Amino acid sequence: MSDISSAQTPSSTTAQPAAGASLRPNRSRQFLVTLFGVYPIITLILYLVLPLTAGWPIWQTTLIVTPLMVAIMVFWMIPQIQKRFAGFIMRPVRR
């Protein structure tokens, strides 16, 4: 019985911030990193889509570009930013 109570739970083995400090994203830094990621991607998408949609109303072109950009952001760019720039973006919460 004592073996069960002395076993570590999954939550006790995960890394925690030191001394109870919690982290949250610094929105300004997150904005900058996201901006530098979005700009080249949206520019590339526009270079690819605009010749195919020449003469279309802007709302129709935007209807094509928006789902592409959102999918790239959600499934690739944001996870990469979180993985590669976490040390730059995440800051301790001030109390």
pLDDT along the chain (95 residues), means of 10: 48 50 89 96 97 96 97 96 92 80
- Whether pTM > 0.85 for this model: the answer is no
Contacts of 42 (CB under 8 A, 6+ apart): 65, 69
Phi, psi of 45 (to 5 degrees): -60, -45
Contacts of 25 (CB under 8 A, 6+ apart): 89, 90, 91
The DSSP H or E segment spanning 24 is strand 23-25
Rounded Cα–Cα distance for residues 84 and 92 (Å): 18
Contact 77/37 with Cβ under 8 angstroms? yes
In the three-class reduction of DSSP (H, G, I as helix; E, B as strand; rest coil), residue 69 is classed as helix
